[in-house]
Amino acid sequence: MVDLMEKIVSLSKRRGFVFPSSEIYGGFGSCYDFGPLGVELKNNIKKVWWNEMTKRHDDIVGLDASILMSPKVWKASGHLTAGFADELVECKKCHKRDRWDFVLARAFPGKVFIDKPENFKKQVIKYEIKCDCGGEWMEPKKFNLMMKTFVGPVEDEASVTYLRPETCQGIYTNFKNILQTMRMKIPFGVAQIGKAFRNEINPKDFIYRTREFEQMEMQWFCEPKTSPKFFNYWKKERINWYLSLGIRKQNLRAKEVPKNELPHYAKRAIDIEYKFPFGWKEIEGIHNRGDWDLSNHSKHSGEDLKYDPSTGSGQGYFPHVIETSVGVDRSLFAFLCDAYQEVKGGRTKTTKSAKELEVLLKLDKSLAPVKAAVLPLVKNKPELVKKAKQVYKLLKPNFVCLYDETGSIGRRYRRQDETGTLFCITVDFDSLKKDDVTVRNRDTMKQKRIKIKDLVEEINKKLK
Ligand code: GAP
Protein backbone atom coordinates (compact mmCIF):
# COMPACT_ATOMS: atom_id res chain seq x y z
CA MET A 1 0.00 0.00 0.00
CA VAL A 2 2.91 2.35 0.77
CA ASP A 3 3.95 1.49 -2.74
CA LEU A 4 0.68 2.96 -4.03
CA MET A 5 1.45 6.21 -2.20
CA GLU A 6 4.82 6.43 -3.98
CA LYS A 7 3.15 5.69 -7.32
CA ILE A 8 0.53 8.41 -6.83
CA VAL A 9 3.15 10.97 -5.78
CA SER A 10 5.32 10.05 -8.74
CA LEU A 11 2.42 10.11 -11.24
CA SER A 12 1.28 13.47 -9.84
CA LYS A 13 4.70 15.02 -10.45
CA ARG A 14 5.46 13.29 -13.75
CA ARG A 15 2.13 14.05 -15.40
CA GLY A 16 1.49 17.57 -14.12
CA PHE A 17 -1.03 17.05 -11.32
CA VAL A 18 0.92 18.22 -8.26
CA PHE A 19 4.36 19.84 -7.92
CA PRO A 20 6.23 20.68 -4.70
CA SER A 21 5.96 24.43 -4.09
CA SER A 22 9.09 26.57 -4.61
CA GLU A 23 10.85 23.48 -5.94
CA ILE A 24 13.74 25.40 -7.52
CA TYR A 25 14.58 26.63 -3.99
CA GLY A 26 14.42 23.14 -2.50
CA GLY A 27 10.66 23.23 -1.80
CA PHE A 28 8.74 24.87 1.02
CA GLY A 29 7.51 22.54 3.79
CA SER A 30 4.17 20.96 2.98
CA CYS A 31 3.17 23.47 0.30
CA TYR A 32 2.16 22.17 -3.12
CA ASP A 33 1.30 23.64 -6.50
CA PHE A 34 -1.36 22.12 -8.73
CA GLY A 35 -0.07 21.69 -12.28
CA PRO A 36 -2.00 21.88 -15.57
CA LEU A 37 -3.89 18.60 -15.00
CA GLY A 38 -4.15 19.10 -11.24
CA VAL A 39 -5.89 22.43 -11.59
CA GLU A 40 -8.40 20.96 -14.08
CA LEU A 41 -9.13 18.09 -11.68
CA LYS A 42 -9.44 20.49 -8.76
CA ASN A 43 -11.77 22.79 -10.71
CA ASN A 44 -13.90 19.79 -11.72
CA ILE A 45 -14.23 18.63 -8.09
CA LYS A 46 -15.26 22.13 -7.04
CA LYS A 47 -17.73 22.43 -9.92
CA VAL A 48 -19.34 19.06 -9.18
CA TRP A 49 -19.63 19.92 -5.46
CA TRP A 50 -21.03 23.38 -6.20
CA ASN A 51 -23.62 21.97 -8.60
CA GLU A 52 -24.50 19.25 -6.11
CA MET A 53 -25.12 21.78 -3.35
CA THR A 54 -26.69 24.70 -5.17
CA LYS A 55 -28.46 22.97 -8.08
CA ARG A 56 -29.41 19.49 -6.90
CA HIS A 57 -30.57 20.72 -3.51
CA ASP A 58 -33.21 23.34 -2.88
CA ASP A 59 -32.63 26.35 -0.67
CA ILE A 60 -28.85 26.51 -0.75
CA VAL A 61 -27.22 29.78 -1.80
CA GLY A 62 -23.55 30.60 -2.26
CA LEU A 63 -21.04 32.96 -0.67
CA ASP A 64 -17.43 33.97 -1.19
CA ALA A 65 -16.23 35.65 2.01
CA SER A 66 -12.78 37.16 2.53
CA ILE A 67 -9.90 35.17 3.98
CA LEU A 68 -8.87 37.99 6.31
CA MET A 69 -11.49 38.81 8.92
CA SER A 70 -11.62 40.88 12.08
CA PRO A 71 -9.66 39.11 14.85
CA LYS A 72 -12.82 39.52 16.95
CA VAL A 73 -14.36 36.76 14.80
CA TRP A 74 -11.75 34.27 16.03
CA LYS A 75 -12.21 35.26 19.64
CA ALA A 76 -15.97 34.73 19.36
CA SER A 77 -15.64 31.43 17.45
CA GLY A 78 -13.33 29.96 20.10
CA HIS A 79 -10.39 29.49 17.73
CA LEU A 80 -8.08 31.79 19.68
CA THR A 81 -8.63 29.94 22.91
CA ALA A 82 -7.32 26.47 23.74
CA GLY A 83 -10.12 24.94 21.61
CA PHE A 84 -8.16 25.12 18.37
CA ALA A 85 -4.83 23.73 19.51
CA ASP A 86 -2.86 20.50 19.32
CA GLU A 87 -0.57 18.93 21.94
CA LEU A 88 3.03 19.61 20.85
CA VAL A 89 5.94 17.55 22.24
CA GLU A 90 9.67 18.12 21.82
CA CYS A 91 12.47 15.58 22.16
CA LYS A 92 14.95 16.52 24.93
CA LYS A 93 17.86 15.10 22.92
CA CYS A 94 17.37 15.85 19.18
CA HIS A 95 14.73 18.60 19.67
CA LYS A 96 12.44 17.09 17.07
CA ARG A 97 8.87 18.37 17.50
CA ASP A 98 5.73 16.38 16.84
CA ARG A 99 2.06 16.10 17.70
CA TRP A 100 1.64 13.95 20.80
CA ASP A 101 -1.31 12.04 19.33
CA PHE A 102 0.82 11.25 16.23
CA VAL A 103 3.67 9.94 18.43
CA LEU A 104 1.21 7.65 20.22
CA ALA A 105 -0.36 6.46 16.97
CA ARG A 106 3.08 5.65 15.52
CA ALA A 107 4.23 3.83 18.62
CA PHE A 108 1.06 1.74 18.85
CA PRO A 109 -0.60 1.53 15.43
CA GLY A 110 -4.29 0.74 15.63
CA LYS A 111 -4.44 1.15 19.42
CA VAL A 112 -7.15 3.44 20.75
CA PHE A 113 -5.85 5.47 23.69
CA ILE A 114 -8.37 5.90 26.43
CA ASP A 115 -5.87 7.91 28.45
CA LYS A 116 -6.30 11.58 27.64
CA PRO A 117 -3.23 13.16 25.91
CA GLU A 118 -2.76 15.36 28.97
CA ASN A 119 -2.01 12.20 31.02
CA PHE A 120 1.39 12.38 29.41
CA LYS A 121 3.58 11.10 32.25
CA LYS A 122 1.36 8.08 32.88
CA GLN A 123 1.48 7.16 29.19
CA VAL A 124 5.25 7.64 28.85
CA ILE A 125 5.94 5.41 31.87
CA LYS A 126 3.32 2.79 31.02
CA TYR A 127 4.29 2.42 27.36
CA GLU A 128 7.99 3.48 27.57
CA ILE A 129 7.53 5.92 24.71
CA LYS A 130 10.70 7.58 23.42
CA CYS A 131 11.73 9.56 20.36
CA ASP A 132 13.28 7.61 17.43
CA CYS A 133 16.70 8.93 18.54
CA GLY A 134 16.19 7.37 21.98
CA GLY A 135 15.64 10.75 23.66
CA GLU A 136 12.86 11.47 26.14
CA TRP A 137 9.92 13.68 25.26
CA MET A 138 9.32 16.96 27.11
CA GLU A 139 5.81 17.51 28.52
CA PRO A 140 3.33 18.51 25.80
CA LYS A 141 2.40 22.14 25.34
CA LYS A 142 -0.79 23.42 23.72
CA PHE A 143 0.00 24.83 20.30
CA ASN A 144 -2.57 27.08 18.61
CA LEU A 145 -2.97 26.39 14.90
CA MET A 146 -4.00 29.89 13.81
CA MET A 147 -1.75 31.51 11.17
CA LYS A 148 -0.91 34.97 12.42
CA THR A 149 -0.33 37.95 10.15
CA PHE A 150 -0.35 41.76 10.27
CA VAL A 151 -2.59 44.11 8.35
CA GLY A 152 -1.11 47.47 7.31
CA PRO A 153 2.42 48.78 7.60
CA VAL A 154 2.88 48.60 11.39
CA GLU A 155 3.59 45.22 12.93
CA ASP A 156 2.16 45.72 16.40
CA GLU A 157 -0.52 44.00 18.52
CA ALA A 158 -3.25 46.25 17.12
CA SER A 159 -2.60 45.12 13.55
CA VAL A 160 -2.55 41.37 14.26
CA THR A 161 -5.06 39.23 12.46
CA TYR A 162 -5.24 35.63 11.26
CA LEU A 163 -5.68 33.72 8.04
CA ARG A 164 -8.97 31.85 8.42
CA PRO A 165 -8.57 28.23 9.62
CA GLU A 166 -12.05 27.29 8.32
CA THR A 167 -14.18 29.05 5.71
CA CYS A 168 -17.51 28.78 7.51
CA GLN A 169 -17.05 31.74 9.88
CA GLY A 170 -17.71 34.10 6.95
CA ILE A 171 -21.07 32.37 6.55
CA TYR A 172 -22.06 33.03 10.17
CA THR A 173 -20.95 36.66 10.08
CA ASN A 174 -23.05 37.11 6.90
CA PHE A 175 -26.04 35.20 8.26
CA LYS A 176 -28.17 38.34 8.62
CA ASN A 177 -27.09 39.76 5.24
CA ILE A 178 -28.09 36.54 3.49
CA LEU A 179 -31.41 36.30 5.35
CA GLN A 180 -32.32 39.84 4.41
CA THR A 181 -31.09 39.99 0.83
CA MET A 182 -32.31 36.56 -0.27
CA ARG A 183 -35.44 36.36 1.95
CA MET A 184 -34.40 32.87 3.05
CA LYS A 185 -36.69 30.77 5.23
CA ILE A 186 -35.39 28.12 7.59
CA PRO A 187 -34.27 25.45 6.78
CA PHE A 188 -31.74 26.72 4.26
CA GLY A 189 -28.06 26.36 3.51
CA VAL A 190 -25.08 28.49 2.49
CA ALA A 191 -22.27 26.95 0.48
CA GLN A 192 -18.75 28.28 0.13
CA ILE A 193 -15.45 27.19 -1.40
CA GLY A 194 -12.20 28.83 -0.39
CA LYS A 195 -8.72 28.65 1.06
CA ALA A 196 -8.06 27.94 4.71
CA PHE A 197 -4.79 27.93 6.64
CA ARG A 198 -3.59 26.04 9.71
CA ASN A 199 -0.14 26.13 11.24
CA GLU A 200 -0.05 22.33 11.45
CA ILE A 201 2.73 20.98 13.71
CA ASN A 202 3.40 18.01 11.52
CA PRO A 203 2.01 18.36 7.98
CA LYS A 204 2.42 15.04 6.21
CA ASP A 205 1.32 12.41 3.74
CA PHE A 206 1.71 14.46 0.54
CA ILE A 207 -1.36 16.72 0.09
CA TYR A 208 -3.30 15.03 2.90
CA ARG A 209 -2.27 17.41 5.69
CA THR A 210 -0.91 20.77 4.60
CA ARG A 211 -0.76 24.26 6.07
CA GLU A 212 -2.63 25.84 3.16
CA PHE A 213 -5.63 24.01 1.72
CA GLU A 214 -9.03 24.58 0.24
CA GLN A 215 -12.37 23.72 1.81
CA MET A 216 -15.87 23.21 0.42
CA GLU A 217 -18.25 23.89 3.28
CA MET A 218 -22.01 24.06 3.55
CA GLN A 219 -23.81 25.31 6.63
CA TRP A 220 -27.42 24.17 6.95
CA PHE A 221 -29.48 26.40 9.27
CA CYS A 222 -32.47 24.64 10.80
CA GLU A 223 -34.87 24.60 13.73
CA PRO A 224 -33.09 23.15 16.80
CA LYS A 225 -35.42 20.18 17.13
CA THR A 226 -34.86 19.18 13.49
CA SER A 227 -31.05 19.10 13.70
CA PRO A 228 -30.72 15.32 14.44
CA LYS A 229 -32.89 14.55 11.40
CA PHE A 230 -30.84 16.83 9.14
CA PHE A 231 -27.57 15.49 10.55
CA ASN A 232 -28.52 12.01 9.32
CA TYR A 233 -29.83 13.39 6.04
CA TRP A 234 -26.57 15.21 5.24
CA LYS A 235 -24.42 12.27 6.34
CA LYS A 236 -26.22 10.07 3.82
CA GLU A 237 -26.17 12.69 1.07
CA ARG A 238 -22.44 13.27 1.42
CA ILE A 239 -21.53 9.59 1.40
CA ASN A 240 -23.67 9.12 -1.71
CA TRP A 241 -21.84 12.02 -3.38
CA TYR A 242 -18.53 10.12 -3.20
CA LEU A 243 -20.14 6.88 -4.36
CA SER A 244 -21.81 8.65 -7.30
CA LEU A 245 -18.35 9.86 -8.34
CA GLY A 246 -16.99 6.34 -8.45
CA ILE A 247 -15.31 5.98 -5.05
CA ARG A 248 -15.50 2.30 -4.16
CA LYS A 249 -17.83 1.46 -1.28
CA GLN A 250 -15.22 -0.65 0.48
CA ASN A 251 -12.89 2.36 0.65
CA LEU A 252 -15.37 4.66 2.36
CA ARG A 253 -16.79 4.64 5.87
CA ALA A 254 -18.41 6.95 8.39
CA LYS A 255 -16.90 7.10 11.87
CA GLU A 256 -18.62 8.63 14.87
CA VAL A 257 -16.22 11.03 16.62
CA PRO A 258 -15.99 10.10 20.33
CA LYS A 259 -17.25 12.77 22.74
CA ASN A 260 -13.75 13.49 24.14
CA GLU A 261 -12.42 14.18 20.63
CA LEU A 262 -15.18 16.49 19.40
CA PRO A 263 -14.06 19.85 18.01
CA HIS A 264 -14.80 22.68 20.45
CA TYR A 265 -17.85 23.85 18.44
CA ALA A 266 -19.56 20.49 17.85
CA LYS A 267 -22.27 18.63 19.77
CA ARG A 268 -21.90 15.65 17.45
CA ALA A 269 -19.56 14.81 14.58
CA ILE A 270 -19.03 12.12 12.01
CA ASP A 271 -15.86 11.76 9.98
CA ILE A 272 -16.28 10.40 6.47
CA GLU A 273 -13.09 8.40 6.08
CA TYR A 274 -11.29 7.11 3.00
CA LYS A 275 -8.93 4.13 3.00
CA PHE A 276 -5.72 5.89 1.93
CA PRO A 277 -2.50 3.91 1.30
CA PHE A 278 -1.46 5.03 4.82
CA GLY A 279 -4.72 3.94 6.50
CA TRP A 280 -8.29 5.09 7.12
CA LYS A 281 -8.32 8.89 7.33
CA GLU A 282 -10.88 11.67 7.43
CA ILE A 283 -11.79 13.41 4.18
CA GLU A 284 -14.94 15.17 5.34
CA GLY A 285 -16.53 16.17 8.63
CA ILE A 286 -20.28 16.33 9.28
CA HIS A 287 -20.85 18.44 12.36
CA ASN A 288 -23.84 19.40 14.44
CA ARG A 289 -22.60 22.82 15.61
CA GLY A 290 -25.84 23.60 17.46
CA ASP A 291 -26.08 27.37 18.01
CA TRP A 292 -22.41 27.65 19.03
CA ASP A 293 -21.45 30.06 16.27
CA LEU A 294 -24.51 32.27 15.91
CA SER A 295 -24.98 32.71 19.67
CA ASN A 296 -21.30 33.49 20.24
CA HIS A 297 -21.14 35.98 17.36
CA SER A 298 -24.33 37.56 18.68
CA LYS A 299 -22.82 37.90 22.14
CA HIS A 300 -19.45 39.25 20.95
CA SER A 301 -20.71 41.58 18.21
CA GLY A 302 -23.87 42.85 19.89
CA GLU A 303 -25.86 42.02 16.70
CA ASP A 304 -29.04 40.03 17.15
CA LEU A 305 -28.51 36.93 14.99
CA LYS A 306 -31.71 35.18 16.01
CA TYR A 307 -34.23 34.04 13.42
CA ASP A 308 -37.84 35.10 13.59
CA PRO A 309 -40.00 32.53 11.78
CA SER A 310 -42.70 35.10 11.00
CA THR A 311 -40.60 37.96 9.62
CA GLY A 312 -37.03 36.75 9.51
CA SER A 313 -36.11 40.05 11.15
CA GLY A 314 -33.89 38.84 13.96
CA GLN A 315 -36.25 38.04 16.84
CA GLY A 316 -36.97 34.49 17.90
CA TYR A 317 -34.37 31.72 18.20
CA PHE A 318 -30.84 30.86 17.17
CA PRO A 319 -31.05 28.29 14.36
CA HIS A 320 -28.91 25.19 14.78
CA VAL A 321 -26.29 24.39 12.17
CA ILE A 322 -25.44 21.14 10.43
CA GLU A 323 -22.15 21.55 8.64
CA THR A 324 -20.64 19.48 5.84
CA SER A 325 -16.94 20.28 5.43
CA VAL A 326 -14.61 18.67 2.90
CA GLY A 327 -11.08 19.51 1.82
CA VAL A 328 -10.65 19.94 -1.94
CA ASP A 329 -7.05 18.72 -1.79
CA ARG A 330 -7.85 15.76 0.44
CA SER A 331 -10.78 14.63 -1.68
CA LEU A 332 -8.64 15.07 -4.82
CA PHE A 333 -6.05 12.78 -3.24
CA ALA A 334 -8.77 10.20 -2.46
CA PHE A 335 -10.15 10.43 -6.03
CA LEU A 336 -6.63 9.86 -7.42
CA CYS A 337 -5.97 6.85 -5.16
CA ASP A 338 -9.33 5.28 -5.97
CA ALA A 339 -9.02 5.80 -9.72
CA TYR A 340 -5.47 4.42 -9.98
CA GLN A 341 -5.34 0.98 -11.61
CA GLU A 342 -2.52 -1.10 -13.01
CA VAL A 343 -3.19 -3.58 -15.79
CA LYS A 344 -0.66 -6.38 -15.91
CA GLY A 345 0.41 -7.38 -19.39
CA GLY A 346 -1.09 -4.22 -20.76
CA ARG A 347 -4.31 -3.07 -22.36
CA THR A 348 -2.68 -1.71 -25.49
CA LYS A 349 -0.67 -3.54 -28.09
CA THR A 350 2.47 -1.53 -27.27
CA THR A 351 3.08 -3.44 -24.05
CA LYS A 352 5.80 -5.94 -24.83
CA SER A 353 6.03 -8.11 -21.73
CA ALA A 354 3.33 -9.91 -19.78
CA LYS A 355 4.87 -8.52 -16.59
CA GLU A 356 4.76 -4.92 -17.77
CA LEU A 357 2.15 -2.74 -16.14
CA GLU A 358 -0.05 -0.19 -17.83
CA VAL A 359 -1.60 2.52 -15.70
CA LEU A 360 -5.22 3.53 -16.03
CA LEU A 361 -6.62 6.48 -14.11
CA LYS A 362 -10.31 5.64 -14.10
CA LEU A 363 -11.62 9.00 -12.87
CA ASP A 364 -15.33 9.70 -13.19
CA LYS A 365 -16.15 11.45 -16.46
CA SER A 366 -17.12 14.64 -14.62
CA LEU A 367 -13.73 14.73 -12.88
CA ALA A 368 -11.35 13.62 -15.65
CA PRO A 369 -9.08 16.63 -16.30
CA VAL A 370 -8.88 16.08 -20.06
CA LYS A 371 -11.98 14.99 -21.92
CA ALA A 372 -10.42 14.35 -25.33
CA ALA A 373 -6.97 14.04 -26.89
CA VAL A 374 -6.54 14.57 -30.61
CA LEU A 375 -3.85 12.41 -32.19
CA PRO A 376 -2.71 12.33 -35.82
CA LEU A 377 -1.87 8.69 -36.64
CA VAL A 378 1.66 9.73 -37.63
CA LYS A 379 3.37 13.07 -37.43
CA ASN A 380 5.39 12.93 -40.64
CA LYS A 381 2.39 13.32 -42.95
CA PRO A 382 1.59 17.03 -43.13
CA GLU A 383 -1.96 16.42 -44.39
CA LEU A 384 -2.77 14.27 -41.32
CA VAL A 385 -1.24 16.81 -38.95
CA LYS A 386 -3.18 19.62 -40.62
CA LYS A 387 -6.48 17.74 -40.32
CA ALA A 388 -5.80 16.76 -36.68
CA LYS A 389 -5.08 20.39 -35.79
CA GLN A 390 -8.39 21.39 -37.39
CA VAL A 391 -10.20 18.79 -35.26
CA TYR A 392 -8.37 20.03 -32.14
CA LYS A 393 -9.43 23.62 -32.92
CA LEU A 394 -13.02 22.49 -33.35
CA LEU A 395 -13.13 20.68 -29.99
CA LYS A 396 -11.06 23.04 -27.83
CA PRO A 397 -13.75 25.68 -27.13
CA ASN A 398 -16.14 22.95 -25.99
CA PHE A 399 -14.13 20.87 -23.51
CA VAL A 400 -10.60 20.47 -22.19
CA CYS A 401 -8.60 18.89 -25.02
CA LEU A 402 -4.99 18.03 -25.76
CA TYR A 403 -3.13 17.66 -29.02
CA ASP A 404 -0.39 15.02 -29.04
CA GLU A 405 1.72 13.86 -31.98
CA THR A 406 4.82 12.53 -30.17
CA GLY A 407 5.57 8.79 -30.18
CA SER A 408 3.72 5.79 -31.55
CA ILE A 409 -0.08 5.81 -31.42
CA GLY A 410 -0.05 3.01 -28.81
CA ARG A 411 2.28 4.96 -26.54
CA ARG A 412 0.09 8.01 -26.89
CA TYR A 413 -2.99 5.98 -25.87
CA ARG A 414 -1.08 4.78 -22.82
CA ARG A 415 -0.06 8.31 -21.88
CA GLN A 416 -3.70 9.44 -22.05
CA ASP A 417 -4.95 6.40 -20.06
CA GLU A 418 -2.44 7.27 -17.35
CA THR A 419 -4.03 10.67 -16.81
CA GLY A 420 -7.64 9.56 -17.25
CA THR A 421 -8.38 11.18 -20.64
CA LEU A 422 -11.84 9.97 -21.64
CA PHE A 423 -11.56 9.88 -25.42
CA CYS A 424 -8.64 9.53 -27.82
CA ILE A 425 -9.52 10.87 -31.23
CA THR A 426 -7.30 9.58 -33.99
CA VAL A 427 -7.01 11.20 -37.38
CA ASP A 428 -5.90 8.59 -39.94
CA PHE A 429 -5.71 8.27 -43.73
CA ASP A 430 -9.43 7.42 -44.01
CA SER A 431 -10.16 10.70 -42.21
CA LEU A 432 -8.78 12.55 -45.23
CA LYS A 433 -11.22 10.81 -47.57
CA LYS A 434 -14.30 10.42 -45.37
CA ASP A 435 -14.01 13.39 -43.00
CA ASP A 436 -14.35 11.16 -39.96
CA VAL A 437 -12.12 10.02 -37.07
CA THR A 438 -11.85 7.07 -34.69
CA VAL A 439 -12.96 7.75 -31.14
CA ARG A 440 -11.45 5.41 -28.56
CA ASN A 441 -13.25 5.03 -25.24
CA ARG A 442 -10.84 5.01 -22.26
CA ASP A 443 -12.72 2.36 -20.30
CA THR A 444 -13.84 -0.06 -22.98
CA MET A 445 -11.00 0.69 -25.44
CA LYS A 446 -13.62 0.26 -28.17
CA GLN A 447 -13.12 2.42 -31.21
CA LYS A 448 -15.92 3.96 -33.23
CA ARG A 449 -15.77 6.05 -36.39
CA ILE A 450 -17.57 9.37 -36.07
CA LYS A 451 -18.01 12.13 -38.63
CA ILE A 452 -15.97 15.21 -37.69
CA LYS A 453 -19.06 17.42 -38.00
CA ASP A 454 -20.84 15.31 -35.32
CA LEU A 455 -17.91 15.07 -32.88
CA VAL A 456 -18.86 17.89 -30.47
CA GLU A 457 -22.44 16.69 -30.17
CA GLU A 458 -21.43 13.02 -29.76
CA ILE A 459 -18.85 13.77 -27.06
CA ASN A 460 -21.23 16.10 -25.25
CA LYS A 461 -23.82 13.33 -25.23
CA LYS A 462 -21.29 10.95 -23.67
CA LEU A 463 -20.29 13.50 -21.05
CA LYS A 464 -23.87 13.98 -19.85
N1 GAP B 1 -15.44 23.98 9.55
C2 GAP B 1 -15.19 22.71 10.09
C3 GAP B 1 -13.84 22.20 9.82
O4 GAP B 1 -13.00 22.93 9.34
P5 GAP B 1 -12.34 20.08 10.04
O6 GAP B 1 -12.73 18.66 10.32
O7 GAP B 1 -11.29 20.71 10.87
O8 GAP B 1 -13.71 20.91 10.12
C9 GAP B 1 -12.81 19.84 7.50
O10 GAP B 1 -11.92 20.21 8.51
C11 GAP B 1 -12.06 19.25 6.33
O12 GAP B 1 -11.05 20.16 5.88
C13 GAP B 1 -11.29 17.96 6.66
O14 GAP B 1 -12.13 16.83 6.60
C15 GAP B 1 -10.26 17.95 5.55
O16 GAP B 1 -10.82 17.44 4.36
C17 GAP B 1 -9.95 19.43 5.38
N18 GAP B 1 -8.72 19.77 6.15
C19 GAP B 1 -8.64 20.13 7.45
N20 GAP B 1 -7.36 20.35 7.81
C21 GAP B 1 -6.61 20.13 6.71
C22 GAP B 1 -5.20 20.19 6.43
N23 GAP B 1 -4.31 20.55 7.35
N24 GAP B 1 -4.79 19.87 5.19
C25 GAP B 1 -5.68 19.51 4.21
N26 GAP B 1 -7.01 19.45 4.42
C27 GAP B 1 -7.48 19.75 5.65
- Three-state secondary-structure class, residue 417: helix
Pocket perturbation via mutation, ligand 1, pick of 293, 330, 333 by most ligand atoms within 8 A of CB:
330
Specify the ligand 1 atom closest to the Cα of 166. Answer: 4
- Given a cut of 60, whether residue 239 has pLDDT beyond it is yes
Report the predicted TM-score, pTM, of the whole model to 2 decimal places. Answer: 0.93
156 pLDDT band (50/70/90 cuts)? confident
- Given a cut of 70, whether residue 361 has pLDDT beyond it is yes
Least confidently predicted of 23-32, 42-51, 318-327? 23-32
What was the pLDDT predicted at 113? 65
What was the pLDDT predicted at 114? 57
Q: Give the rounded percent of residues in the chain with a pLDDT score beyond 90.
A: 80
Specify the ligand 1 atom closest to the Cα of 208. Answer: 25
- Given a cut of 80, whether residue 352 has pLDDT beyond it is no
Q: How does pLDDT run across 417-452, given as a tens digit for each residue? A: 999 999 999 999 999 999 999 999 999 999 999 999
Q: Which of 347, 378, 323 is nearest to 447 (CA)?
A: 347
CA Rg value for the chain: 26
What was the pLDDT predicted at 349? 60
**Atom 16 of ligand 1, residue of closest alpha carbon:** 327
Torsion on CA atoms 154, 159, 162, 163, rounded to nearest 10: -50
Would you say 445 and 429 are in contact if contact means Cβ atoms under 8 Å apart?
no
SS3 content of the chain, % helix, strand, coil (to 5): 35, 25, 35
Least confidently predicted of 15-24, 40-49, 122-131, 239-248? 122-131
| Environment class of 444 (CB within 10 Å of its CB; exposed 0-12, middle 13-18, buried 19+) | exposed
217 CA distance to ligand 1 middle (Å): 10
Pocket perturbation via mutation, ligand 1, pick of 197, 215, 219 by most ligand atoms within 8 A of CB:
215
- Report, as an integer, the average pLDDT of 320-327: 98
Task: State the chain's mean pLDDT as an integer.
Answer: 93
What was the pLDDT predicted at 83? 72
- Given a cut of 90, whether residue 314 has pLDDT beyond it is no
